[in-house]
Amino acid sequence: MWLARFLFAIVAASALPAAAQVTTCSGSNAGFSLGTYDAFRSTPLDSSTSFVVTCSRHGGPGSDLVSVGFGPSLNSGTIATRQLKITAGTDLLTYNLYRDAGRALVWGNTVGTDTVSQSISLANNTSGNLTFTIFGRINALQDVRAGDYADTVTITVTF
């Protein structure tokens, strides 16, 4: 059995120029362990974690829609088939990130299509947090060597 993990790189985006923004949002770099993978296990390895986005309002009360998207795997270059790579070698483990507990909806980066959005209402000069649940799955019965596997995925926060 071995550890499978990946790291996030955070990118914040906004539709308005910085001078016109009254709300700012950010996340922090986060790590997420997908768990200890057993190549002989006949069922997928499922895991979940939370990603917290902190928003602050400067300039009057209001409500904003905050969307979180996940980019492609650094190792595979795609969203549809993300891959963890062994740190010393070339073995790859196929996994993915999902928006739902049933792991049917892959979490991508197309706003309004495969991202997750939440609204936040803040009074002037206040801050608040939004929590997004990330569901992970490593496919079963992959013939790979034991070792540490990792991937990097960029999270885009749009507000």
**What tens digit of pLDDT does each residue of 87-142 get?**
889 999 999 999 999 999 999 998 888 999 999 999 988 999 999 999 999 999 99
DSSP 8-state class, residue 18: G
Q: What is the CATH number of the domain that holds 138?
A: 2.60.40.1090
**At a CB cut-off of 8 Å and minimum separation 6, what does 144 contact?**
39, 86, 91, 92, 93
Q: Residue 151: what residue type?
A: D
Query: What is the count of structural domains for the chain?
Result: 1
pLDDT (0 to 100) of residue 20: 55
Closest CA to 136 of 108, 112, 100: 100
- 24 strand-pairing partners: 56
Calculate the dihedral angle through the C-alpha atoms of 143, 145, 148, 154, rounding to the nearest 10 degrees.
Answer: -40
Look up the pTM and report it. Answer: 0.87
Calculate the dihedral angle through the C-alpha atoms of 99, 151, 36, 26, rounding to the nearest 10 degrees.
Answer: -50
Given its phi and psi angles, is residue 131 left (phi above 0), alpha (psi -120 to 50 degrees) or beta?
beta
pLDDT (0 to 100) of residue 62: 82
**What tens digit of pLDDT does each residue of 6-43 get?**
455 555 454 444 555 688 888 876 678 888 898 899 99
Q: Which domain holds residue 117?
A: 2-158
